A and B are shown apart, each in its own frame.
Chain A
Amino acid sequence: MPVMLRRGLQREDVQGYLFISPWLIGVVVFFIGPMVASLVLSLTDYSIIAPGLSFLGVENYREIALDPLFWKSLGVTAYYLALDVPLGQVGSLALALLIHRQIRFKSLFRTILYLPSVTPIVAAASIWLWFLQPRFGLMNGALGLFGIDGPAWLASREWAVPGLALVTLWGIGGARMIIYLAGLQGVPEELREAARIDGAGVWRVFTAVTLPHLTPTIFFNVIIDIIGSFQQFSVAYIATDGGPDNSTLFYVLYLYRNAFNYFRMGYASALAWIMLLLLLAFTLVQFRGARRWVYYGGA
Chain B
Amino acid sequence: MAAPESLAAARGRYRLGRRLASDLGLAFTYLSLVAACVVLFLPMLWAITGSLKSSGVLYSYPPQIFPREWQWVNYLEVFRIVPFLLFARNSVIITVTALTGQVLISALVAYGFARFRFRGRNVLFVLLLSTMMLPQQVILIPQYLLYAQLRWIDTYLPLIVPFWFGHAFSVFLLRQFFMTVPRDFDDAARIDGANPWIVFWRILMPLIQPALIAVGILGFRSHWNSFIDPLIYLNSTSKYTLLLGLSYIKSNYLVDSGGDPHENWLMAASIMVTIPTILMFFVLQRHIVRGVVLSGLKQ
Which residues of chain B have C-beta atoms less than 8 A from A111's C-beta?
A: 281-282, 285
Q: Is B105 an interface residue (CB 8 A)?
A: yes
Q: Is B143 an interface residue (CB 8 A)?
A: yes
Bits for B131-162, please: 1 = Cβ < 8 Å to A, else 0. 10111111111111110100000000000001
Q: Is A98 an interface residue (CB 8 A)?
A: yes
CA distance A129 to B263 in the complex (A): 9
Contact A272-B292, Cβ < 8 Å, known A116-B40, A122-B243, A126-B270: no
What number of B residues sit within 8 Å (CB to CB) of A? 96
Q: How far is the CB of A291 from chain B (nearest CB, A)?
A: 15
Query: DSSP majority for the A interface?
Result: helix
What number of A residues sit within 8 Å (CB to CB) of B? 93
Bits for B113-127, please: 1 = Cβ < 8 Å to A, else 0. 101111101001001
Q: How far is the CB of B204 from chain A (nearest CB, A)?
A: 12
Which residues of chain A have C-beta atoms less than 8 A from B136's C-beta?
A: 231
Binding site for B on A (CB under 8 A): 9, 12-20, 22-27, 29-31, 33-35, 37-38, 41, 48, 94-95, 98-99, 101, 103, 107, 109, 111-116, 118-123, 126-131, 133, 135-138, 141-142, 144, 170, 172-173, 175, 178-179, 181-183, 202, 216-217, 220, 227, 230-231, 233-234, 237-238, 252, 255-256, 259-260, 265, 268-269, 272-273, 275-276, 279
B141, A265: Cβ atoms closer than 8 Å: yes
The number of residue pairs between A and B whose CB atoms lie closer than 8 Å in the complex comes to: 262
Query: DSSP majority for the B interface?
Result: helix
Which residues of chain B have C-beta atoms less than 8 A from A115's C-beta?
A: 40-41, 44, 278, 281
> Would you list the 6 A-B pairs with minimal beta carbon distance, nearest first?
A26-B165, A19-B112, A16-B118, A16-B116, A179-B296, A34-B142
Q: Is B299 an interface residue (CB 8 A)?
A: yes
A-B contact pairs, 22 of them (CB 8 A): A13-B116, A15-B118, A18-B112, A20-B109, A20-B112, A37-B145, A38-B139, A38-B142, A98-B29, A98-B36, A115-B44, A116-B44, A122-B243, A123-B271, A123-B273, A129-B263, A130-B263, A131-B46, A231-B137, A252-B137, A256-B228, A276-B134
Q: How far is the CB of A60 from chain B (nearest CB, A)?
A: 12
A231, closest chain B residue (CB)? B135
B274, A119: Cβ atoms closer than 8 Å: yes
Contact of B46 among A130, A183, A255, A256 (CB under 8 A): A130
B142, A33: Cβ atoms closer than 8 Å: yes
